[in-house]
Structure 1
Amino acid sequence: MGLVLSGFIVLMNCKTWKRNRYLRTGDKIVTSLCLSRWIFQGLYGIHHIMQWHLPRVFFHGYANEACVLGRIILNYITVWLASLLCVYYCVKITNYKHVVFLYLKAKMSKLVPWYIGLSVFLSVVFSLPYGWLVFFTSDYTGKITESFQNTTKKKREGPYVYFIGSTPPFIIFTVAFFLTVPSLWRHIRNMSSVGSSFRNPDMQAHYNAIKSMAAFFALHILFIMSINITFSGVMEIGIPYNSVSFVLSSFYPFLHSAVIIFYNRKLKEEFLKLFTCYRIFSQEKK
């Protein structure tokens, strides 16, 4: 389902861009994030299937290591873009008067394409240590990986490689979150103090923003923990754990994509139309 929802968001935003030749700043970040998640989940699914159903082919040479490296790069990209999205919400929603916030508010639309490119560049850079461990270290060069357990041993020799790379975007994400939510809460309290009703559209919008950010933050923590455990190899790898890791890794992009669709009026309307057409088609087919 994560693949479906991420693909739906990408297609809808591409449709908007084709029609208007323009995407809003937030939609650019969301589209890039959902596209990277879509590719990551597709590669993760292929990796998950092949390592259990075609092990003789997949674990010969460096095919498995190359696939894992691709997953790490794509996952770094999704983590950096998720942090960029949280920073965008922070800059857009909050009303801090610091010079950095004022500069970002004025230049965000021009800076976002550069930030997206920088996210990809940093993702590749932080993935280089793993690539060096696997492809260029003398302990690994010339070896043939015959089983998933051998790959796990390789990952255990550098258990902190992925953790170090995922820490900077997570810190940025956390700081942006804790700057945004208190600001929203103070604004809600100010509105309620002047007599605004909880049914006021502005109040509801702020409450929805807080709920969306809180869900985003909780799911992001769960995802970071799951992926760090997976890539570090600190737990024994087997079919039960691998399946749980796969489910948890898919759970976050699915739910966050659902949150994005739910709180975006246009995406929600298009999704309901598509879902209605699917139900009618299913009933007619029966």
Structure 2
Amino acid sequence: MVSSAPAVIFYLIISAMELLAGVVANGYIVALNCINWVKSRKLTSYDKIITSLAFSRFCLQVFVSSDNFLYKLYPDFFYMTETSSPYAVIWMFINQVSLCFASCLSVFYCVKIASFNQALFNWLKLKLSKLVPWLLLGSVLYCLVTTVAFAVFTYSSHNSTDCLSRNVTISDNNKNRAVFTFLIHGIGSISPIILFIASSALLIISLWRHIRKMNLNSDLNPSFRNSTMDAHVRALKSVVFFFILYNIYYMASTLSIGSLAYVSDELRITVCTIIIAAYPSLHSIVLILGNPKLKLASARILHSANC
């Protein structure tokens, strides 16, 4: 199915807006934290995580948006193994790193905010600040392993196809590569997905219990209701939004892998790519609005720009 010119233009406009939002939001987080690090020579554990996450999302946003433009302007690119194979390997690494860093942020929220009376949980609260750099480094190494496994198969499959299988068509080759990409993506993402879902679920349960307890106390004593409860409600909404957005992105990115072999289902691929490109910017904007330091700095920048 060939897209009409207005549909292609609309798609490119949406992709350009997502690219601009993602680059500005994630670039702002990275730039501000780097400036603060230069001034104070230290970063908090939270700042280390969101800076790493924002940088990975900055790269992901640029890569996904370029993918969207190529898909509409130069669709034959995805049939060219010589160029699409390295492209898929780079996407695999950036995507896996972004998912892992998002899981690290979810774990950080869970350990710092949730209230559970378990020895392991209390130990993590005390040691988390020292564990954060190792957690980030371990995430990068984990993503390297899964990406190298994908790269080895991709290039070995390409070489064996060139030497042994003249009867194998380009479509069959793309189909096999898409299936393996789907498997590597699923296997490589299963650990961060489980970690993210478990930590988010624990945090949501803890916040929900705490809000119910505060509601009960406020019913008994109306003066008890204060800004603390409002902060917990905002935190719960933010976590639920992050949980939904993360899982939608994962499902969309998994479904879009079929574009390597099944370009005919254009509507599904178009919707998936728009969702994928929206994820790196939407949650980063939520992080800025939910962080007093980032929000205040952005307000100052906007005020200066208006002046």
SS at match of 2:182: coil
Q: What amino acid does structure 1 have at the position aligned with 2:283?
A: H
Cα deviation code 1:75-134 (max 9, x no counterpart): 100111111110100000112122221121111111100110000011111223321221
Cα deviation code 1:156-191 (max 9, x no counterpart): 355322111111111111110111111112222222
2:31 maps to 1:4: no
For 1:98-247, what aligned pairs fall within 5 Å after superposition?
98-137=118-157, 138-140=159-161, 151-157=174-180, 159-194=182-217, 195=221, 200-233=226-259, 236-237=262-263, 240-247=267-274
Higher share of residues assigned helix? 2
Q: How far did residue 139 of structure 1 move?
A: 3.6
Q: How far did residue 50 of structure 1 move?
A: 4.0
Task: Describe the shift of the 1:88–1:140 C-alpha distance in structure 2 as closer, same or farther (beyond 3 A).
Answer: farther
TM-score, normalised with respect to structure 2: 0.81
Q: How far did residue 255 of structure 1 move?
A: 1.4
Unaligned stretches of 5+ residues in structure 1: 282-286
For 1:16-165, what aligned pairs fall within 5 Å after superposition?
16-50=36-70, 52-53=72-73, 60=80, 62-137=82-157, 138-140=159-161, 151-157=174-180, 159-165=182-188
Kindly indicate whether the alpha-carbon contact (under 8 Å) linking 2:259 and 2:269 is maintained by their aligned counterparts in 1: no
Kindly indicate whether the alpha-carbon contact (under 8 Å) linking 2:65 and 2:277 is maintained by their aligned counterparts in 1: no
Task: Describe the shift of the 1:105–1:168 C-alpha distance in structure 2 as closer, same or farther (beyond 3 A).
Answer: same
Task: Describe the shift of the 1:227–1:58 C-alpha distance in structure 2 as closer, same or farther (beyond 3 A).
Answer: closer
**Is the deviation greater in 214-223 or in 173-182?**
173-182
Matched pairs, number: 279
Q: What amino acid does structure 2 have at the position aligned with 1:187?
A: H
Task: Describe the shift of the 1:168–1:157 C-alpha distance in structure 2 as closer, same or farther (beyond 3 A).
Answer: closer
State, as a whole percentage, how many aligned pairs show the same letter.
Answer: 31
RMSD: 2.8
TM-score, normalised with respect to structure 1: 0.86
Distance in 2 (alpha carbons) for counterparts of 1:196 and 1:139: 73
